[in-house]
Amino acid sequence: MTIQEQRPAAMAARIDRWTDLVRPDRVHRTLYTETQVFAEEMVKVFGGESWVYLAHESQLPQPNAFVSVRMGLRPVLVTRDRHGGLHAIFNRCAHRAATVCREESGTAKSFQCPYHGWTFKNNGELVGVPWPQGYGEMDRAEFGLTRVTRVESYRGFVFGTMNADAPSVEEWLGHARPWLDHWLDRAPEGEVLLGSAAYRMGFRGNWKLAYDNAGDGYHPSFSHRSLLEMASRMGESKDMSYFGRTPDDGPMVSYSLGNGHSVIDQRPAHGDEPGSFWRNQRPQPGREFFEESIRAEHGDDADRLLDLAIGAQINLSIFPNLLIIGNQIQVIEPLAVDRTQLTWHATRIGGVPDEVSILRMRTQEDFPAFGEPDDQANFEEAQRGLAAPEAEWILMNRGLDVTEWQSLVDGVIVTAVTDELHMRSYYDEWLRRMREEVR
Amino acid sequence: MRLSALPPQFRDTSAHSFHADADWYDELDSFRALLADDWPAAPVEEWHLAQSFLSREARLVDEGRFNDWLDLFAGDCLYWVPVTAGGGDPRREVSHAFDDHRRLTDRVYWLRTGLAYSQIPASRTRHAITNVETVVDPEGRRLVRSTFVVHEFRAGVAKTYAGWYGHVLLPHGDDWLIRLKMVNLLDSEQYHENLTLVF
């Protein structure tokens, strides 16, 4: 019996309408195809029961800044008030439902609904309605914009939930927190900044296909064959080619971090010496010139700096919608049961020379151009395959019976990189949220 | 760095990118400024030649002759599809494509691996190019600005992309080489599915 099966499993505990659909080794196709399941997920999985990622503080650089996001399908404005405090309010007029703000981001002390002129402060309070005599005694406190019940930031990452009783973000991040810390602490100033443009990539498939894939060390050798082939054009094999050599026998590992979070650690495939990330990276525009200038200017420190132009070599999945990949923040934004936006925010960091920043941009253009589109094509083809009603199951049984793969390290399960444990684990959390068991 | 000044080991720009230095980025800024200027109407002959060049380039893409298309580019070229309208600052922002000669060679290689599932089946495209304007800058480079509509059909789905091109062409014998091709999508920063087609 594997370690996963020894721990108290939510899925075995209860008999209800999900029991037959989410099994220890497989999930039912209807979880990816039924609009009713999707509608329920958009409430319960995306904020109704527990935390969901909303925005990054660097998108709200000053008092009264706002950014327009989605929390599930709810249009939400994440705002700073005049004192800098964070709020998340529904972009939905309390009167007749029109959005009160149609800009993607900006600065506003208040929002006036363009439909009938109701005006709200950027914390959601109703400040005025035109011609109030039409309402007799109106209690304005009753008609503010709906607020996201709790909003918390962890080192710049802003999360929200409608569940007043949810644990703190730190507690909920749990074992994922040290990994996020590691990712942030790579930056000399301990923070990353968005605002280096974002790819809003879309695919015609269910959002979970993206989450299934994010912790999947099984697919790269196949789904990314074009990239691996391209990388060998000039002889040397580069980044990710190590996935092609029976990855389960290699040094990479995958961790199941609890609460639906997981991480793939690719670092061991690169070795420990500074400069190894840089050396393994497919060449970017300007690589030779900028490397030479950085080495000339920074001597022994050059390898450390050059590595900062390259991704962290961890793929951290924070359930349900925040993926850290390379140097990028990827946000899963479901649009419909069979349509998903994946927003890839490029990041920059302070405390590095301009040359490193330039190379960092060029590195972040590589995988989204030559890797991710092939994955998304496969997600779309999976969605097409899911249309066949008689073939009912999506399997997630790889590694389930391989007892020697899993071991317990500091309270988390570590396993082979192609183990589908990450799927089995996040479906535990998915079930908890769908069953309203989070509290 | 000028290609003629490159150290010998870096001369092959399909394999090396020593020339894409700080000056190369600065020159890009100057191209963008030139492409944003108002220009006088071009003489008919020049206008015709510019239009013919764009039509030929587009036809190579539409026919999937990517190696021939690649041959149109200079060693210090840039094939640029920005995310931010107008280009933003590529030193601190990412682009959909920011291909120097090496990466453009990679892109063509990648398209032709037969393993890029985002291009199986391959995009069928037809480029329509209008509103062509052209002028020669003081250094003898031909600047061309045009409006495009790209129709794409792939995997059962028809899509349309619109925007404008900025080309900087270098004289090359009787012909030109592309120093810069800037593809300004109308909705560059918005939702897109599978942008692996060639614009």
pLDDT at B158: 98
Is residue B174, in this structure, part of any structural domain at all?
yes
pLDDT at A1: 45
Is residue A27, in this structure, part of any structural domain at all?
no
Q: The domain containing residue A62 runs over which residues?
A: 53-158
Q: How far is it, in rounded angstroms, from Cα B189 to Cα B191?
A: 7
pLDDT at A203: 98
**CATH number assigned to the domain comprising residue B169:** 3.10.450.50
Per the structure, how many domains does chain B have?
1
Instruction: For B134-171, give one letter per residue: b (16+ CB within 10 A) or e.
Output: bbeeeeebbbbbbbbebebebbeeeeebebbbbbbbbe
Cβ contact (<8 Å) for B1 and A358?
Answer: no
**Strand ranges across the sheet with A110-112:** A110-112, A119-121, A126-128
Chain A residues in contact with B107 (beta carbon < 8 A) = 369-370
**Strand ranges across the sheet with A74-80:** A86-90, A74-80, A65-71, A105-107
Per the structure, how many domains does chain A have?
2
pTM, two decimal places: 0.96
Residue pair A272/A251 in contact by the 8 Å Cβ criterion: no
Query: Of A249, A251, A229, A247, nearest to A238 (Cα)?
Result: A229
Domain boundary among A158, A181, A201: A158
**CATH number assigned to the domain comprising residue A220:** 3.90.380.10
Domain boundary among A158, A192, A208: A158
Is residue B195, in this structure, part of any structural domain at all?
no
Is residue A104, in this structure, part of any structural domain at all?
yes
Interface of A with B in 364-393 (CB under 8 A): 364-365, 368-370, 373-374, 376-378, 380-381
Mean pLDDT across the stretch B49-68? 98
3-state SS string over chain B?
Answer: CCHHHCCHHHCCCCCCCCCCCHHHHHHHHHHHHHHCCCCCCCCHHHHHHHHHHHHHHHHHHHCCCHHHHHCCEEEEEEEEEECCHHHCCCCCCCEEEEECHHHHHHHHHHHCCCCCHHHCCCCEEEEEEEEEEEEECCCCCEEEEEEEEEEEEECCEEEEEEEEEEEEEEEECCEEEEEEEEEEECCCCCCEECCCCCC
Instruction: For A17-43, give one letter per residue: b (16+ CB within 10 A) or e.
Output: ebeebbbeebbbbebbbeeebbeebbb
Instruction: Kindly report whether the peptide bond that precedes residue B121 is cis, defined as omega within 30 degrees of 0.
Output: yes
By C-alpha distance, the chain B residue nearest A223 is B117
Looking at the partner chain, which of A199, A362, A378 has a beta carbon nearest the beta carbon of B83? A199
Looking at the partner chain, which of A199, A292, A357 has a beta carbon nearest the beta carbon of B91? A357
Chain A residues in contact with B118 (beta carbon < 8 A) = 373-374, 376-377
Is residue B35, in this structure, part of any structural domain at all?
yes
By C-alpha distance, the chain A residue nearest B193 is A202
Is residue B27, in this structure, part of any structural domain at all?
yes
pLDDT at A235: 74
Distance of CA B66 to the CA centre of its chain: 13
Residues A154 and A170 in one domain: no
Q: Please state the φ and ψ torsions of residue B173, each to the nearest 5 degrees.
A: 60, -130
pLDDT at A50: 96
Cβ contact (<8 Å) for A203 and B94?
Answer: no
Residues A125 and A255 in one domain: no
Q: How far is it, in rounded angstroms, from Cα A429 to Cα B20?
A: 48
Domain boundary among A139, A158, A177: A158
Residues A127 and A170 in one domain: no
Is residue A128, in this structure, part of any structural domain at all?
yes
Chain B residues in contact with A376 (beta carbon < 8 A) = 118, 193-194
In a 10 Å sphere around its CB, with 0-12 CB exposed, 13-18 middle and 19+ buried, how is residue A83 labelled? exposed
Best mutation target among B80, B112, B117, B154 (most A Cβ atoms within 10 Å) is B117
Distance of CA A239 to the CA centre of its chain: 22
Residues A277 and A383 in one domain: yes
Residues A146 and A178 in one domain: no
pLDDT at A420: 96
Is residue A346, in this structure, part of any structural domain at all?
yes
What is the ipTM metric for this complex? Answer: 0.97
pLDDT at A237: 62
By C-alpha distance, the chain A residue nearest B190 is A200
Is residue A401, in this structure, part of any structural domain at all?
yes
Query: Helix A287-298 vs helix A354-364: angle between axes, to the nearest 10 degrees?
Result: 150
Cβ contact (<8 Å) for A200 and B97?
Answer: no
Q: How far is it, in rounded angstroms, from Cα A128 to Cα A117?
A: 9
**pLDDT per 10-residue tile (average), chain A, 439 residues:** 54 81 97 98 97 98 98 98 98 98 98 98 97 94 97 98 97 98 97 97 98 94 91 75 75 94 94 91 96 97 97 97 97 98 98 98 97 97 98 97 91 94 96 89
Q: List, for residues A366-379, the tens digit of each pLDDT value.
A: 999 999 999 999 99
Q: The domain containing residue B74 runs over which residues?
A: 19-185
Q: List, for residues A284-304, the tens digit of each pLDDT value.
A: 999 999 999 999 999 999 999
Distance of CA A292 to the CA centre of its chain: 35
Q: Give, in degrees to the nearest 5, the angle at Cα B130 between B125 and B134.
A: 120
**CATH number assigned to the domain comprising residue A93:** 2.102.10.10
pLDDT at A200: 98
Is residue A90, in this structure, part of any structural domain at all?
yes
